[in-house]
Chain A
Amino acid sequence: MIVGELKPVEEIVAKVKGYSRILVVGCGGCVTVCQTGGAREAETMAHLLGMALRDLHVSLDWTCVARQCEFELLEELKPRLASFDAILSLACGVGVQAVAEFFPSSPVIPGLNTTFMGMPVRHGRFEERCQACGDCILDLTAGICPVARCSKSLLNGPCGGSQNGKCEISAEVECAWHLIYERLERLGRLDNLERLVLPKNWAKSRDGGPRRMVREGLVPDGEE
């Protein structure tokens, strides 16, 4: 899932200043699950902003759609938009852009910082797991991603900074290569480490420019 973090509230207030009727829109997808941008958070944000901007007579309301990253699911906002002069979106960057694209003349303000693709390791705590490099090598690395979880994204690790299972950048960060070693050992596949992982084709990652994916077999020939 996509993990997004609430922007500093001061920043949000600064961004919405100047608008007088704001609709806070939550997203029922990933950011509901990570508890930063769902229906409840939309209401919370509306109350907070309402109190912070009380003297400026700003009116606020809130709502939540099932997923902001689908045009069809944004349709339900249409009838309401006339009464607002800005949308504060609590979706990830994808959702914010979908809203912007779907409502060409409404200003959209992001309420979250989209931070990573990850998972809840326990309730309320989320960790990064994948960087969408476009060329997955998890089979070689015992199911632990060195691109996302090694601070240096080393493909052949560990480096000399690995200390007691921790990464040299911080005692809080686990060394991905230490984890990989331990798991390969458990699987009896330590020989994997003797195979050099050759440089990846980073063109498949962000370095190749914006990406798009076409699933074959979905669109009849001649229709684009």
Chain B
Amino acid sequence: MRIYQDCQVNPRVLVWGGNERAWRLAKVISGQQPVIWAFSRKPPYPATQFSGQTAWGKDLAYVRGKAGRFTVGLHGSAIEEIEVGGIIIVPDPAGPVLSGLPPGEVAGCSILFVLMGVTRRVYTQAFSQIISLAAKNRVWVITDDVQVGFANGEALYSTARARGAVFIRTDRVPLIGTAAGAPDRFEARVLDTGIGREITLPYDILVAPRWEHTDDGLRYHELLGLGEDNLDSYPGRTNREGIWVFPDPEGVLTAAEEEVIIAAIAAQVARMATGRVRAEKYYEIDADRCAFCLTCFRLCPHQAVEFHRDKLFQNLYREACRIDTLSCRGCGLCYAECPAQAIKKVVDKPAPTRIPHVLACENAAAGLIHGQGLNYELRLFPCAASIGENVILRTLSESNRDVYVVACYQGKCQHEHQNRRLQVRVRRLNTLLDRLGITLRVKLLGLSAAEHPEELATKVGERK
């Protein structure tokens, strides 16, 4: 059984970014719900094809609130506040861009492209240039790797070669300079691994990628309180509930992949379009027991906890923490860490019939969920975060045998490294047990969803 709550949300979405992706994303979203497309400078894309609101020349100052009801401060001449339900940040991919491309029509020249260690994005850009320039010029391409792994890549490569462009593969960066005795002529010396010797290529125009950090995606991450770890999260999932950051900081995505992400994010915000969203309710704070210690507020990995004032509260402060259903992802960290035990599960699973001695994060132990027939009782938790010291000790005391706690491997936790938090709990408990002369121990296991029940059985020392 699950409990859902209808939450009121603001259907309007803020798309923040001055690049083509932002434009395409804003266009898609404007077809389904109100959207504000904004950025610190006016982007060079025709706003005529976009039907929502725009706001240029302002910087992001702050974001307050939670998923469904954000207040965003924009810095202009004065701070202006806008209310939105969701925020999508579209940073410019920081990465190499081609520079040195001649403007306008060029004919009868020798043009040298140097494409070393660059991404597919640069290749897409380069191929179209190579093809058009090769019609009336001599074109060489020095590269460490011809990349064709994007839409139409093979065809573009063949066309470029058919037009006479010569691709020279090498793993060494070419030596570029003026020709000996002729300071107005340029040439590149390069080891051609195809023929196994160094060749010299005179050229008139050099086109090479220049590394460019065009946008400050990282700064936005700081501003929004997002972890750097989430910089490249997978399509359509939010970094902090209600805030999406377009992945692909290095610009390796192909146009087709980009479309998929745009569609995924648009579909995610679409659920806000009616102004109401059903969200699952996992945990609830009993305000009368809340000591207002701020533990949950400080620790929640999804920033779902907020302050709530109510003169009917029985506690000392007439104010307590409250979990915002829309933002809460149900990890249970607050539940495990609340020192007042004021946080309750909304739906409690029936108590296991046998006393368990394996307490596992269900993301880590997905492969074990149907652990029937195994020689132990497994109790599943939404995340390692919710396997608190108390439940471990209670289990230890009731089962009177060693208890295994199972978390995801380092870096795999969906709620910001809760495996590490579990690790320190286990360490503390084992020290206490040892000092009290209790021989029972808590054992921490790393597991991944792909593993089989047998593997846990082996680790726990109980083969079937």
Chain B residues contacting A50 (CB-CB under 8 Å) are 397
Q: A39–B340 contact, CB under 8 A?
A: yes
What 0/1 readout, one digit per residue, does chain B (326-369) give for beta carbons within 8 Å of chain A? 00000000000011110000000000000000000000000000
Q: How many angstroms from the CA of A123 to the CA of B390 in the assembled complex?
A: 19
A47-B390, A50-B397 given; A40·B340 CB < 8 A: yes
Q: B340–A28 contact, CB under 8 A?
A: yes
Q: How many A-B residue pairs have CB under 8 A?
A: 74
Q: Is B291 close to A, CB under 8 A?
A: yes
How many B residues, CB 8 Å from partner? 26
Q: B394–A47 contact, CB under 8 A?
A: yes
B interface with A by C-beta (< 8 Å): 289, 291, 293, 295, 298-299, 315-316, 338-341, 388-390, 393-394, 396-397, 432-433, 435-438, 440
Chain A residues contacting B393 (CB-CB under 8 Å) are 43-44, 47-48, 51
Identify the closest chain B residue to A45 (Cβ).
B393
Q: List 12 A-B contacts (CB under 8 A).
A: A13-B436, A35-B295, A39-B339, A44-B389, A47-B390, A51-B396, A51-B397, A51-B436, A51-B438, A52-B438, A66-B315, A123-B299
Q: How many angstroms from the CA of A207 to the CA of B432 in the assembled complex?
A: 38
Q: How many angstroms from the CA of A43 to the CA of B437 in the assembled complex?
A: 19
Shortest distance from the beta carbon of B425 to any chain A beta carbon, whole Å: 11
Q: A33–B339 contact, CB under 8 A?
A: yes
How many A residues, CB 8 Å from partner? 24
**Using a CB-CB cutoff of 8 Å, which residues 4-61 of chain A contact chain B?**
8-10, 13, 28-29, 32-33, 35, 38-41, 43-44, 47-48, 50-52
A interface with B by C-beta (< 8 Å): 8-10, 13, 28-29, 32-33, 35, 38-41, 43-44, 47-48, 50-52, 64, 66-67, 123
Chain A residues contacting B433 (CB-CB under 8 Å) are 48, 51
Shortest distance from the beta carbon of A9 to any chain B beta carbon, whole Å: 6
Shortest distance from the beta carbon of A40 to any chain B beta carbon, whole Å: 5
Q: How many angstroms from the CA of A41 to the CA of B428 in the assembled complex?
A: 13
Shortest distance from the beta carbon of A125 to any chain B beta carbon, whole Å: 12
Q: B436–A43 contact, CB under 8 A?
A: no
- Which residue, B315, B339, B389, B438, has most C-beta atoms of chain A within 10 A? B339
Contact partner of B291 (CB less than 8 A), chosen from A13, A28, A48, A123, is A28
Chain A residues contacting B315 (CB-CB under 8 Å) are 66
Q: How many angstroms from the CA of A9 to the CA of B339 in the assembled complex?
A: 19
Identify the closest chain A residue to B299 (Cβ).
A123
Q: How many angstroms from the CA of A51 to the CA of B403 in the assembled complex?
A: 14
Shortest distance from the beta carbon of B359 to any chain A beta carbon, whole Å: 14
Q: A123–B340 contact, CB under 8 A?
A: no
Shortest distance from the beta carbon of B399 to any chain A beta carbon, whole Å: 11
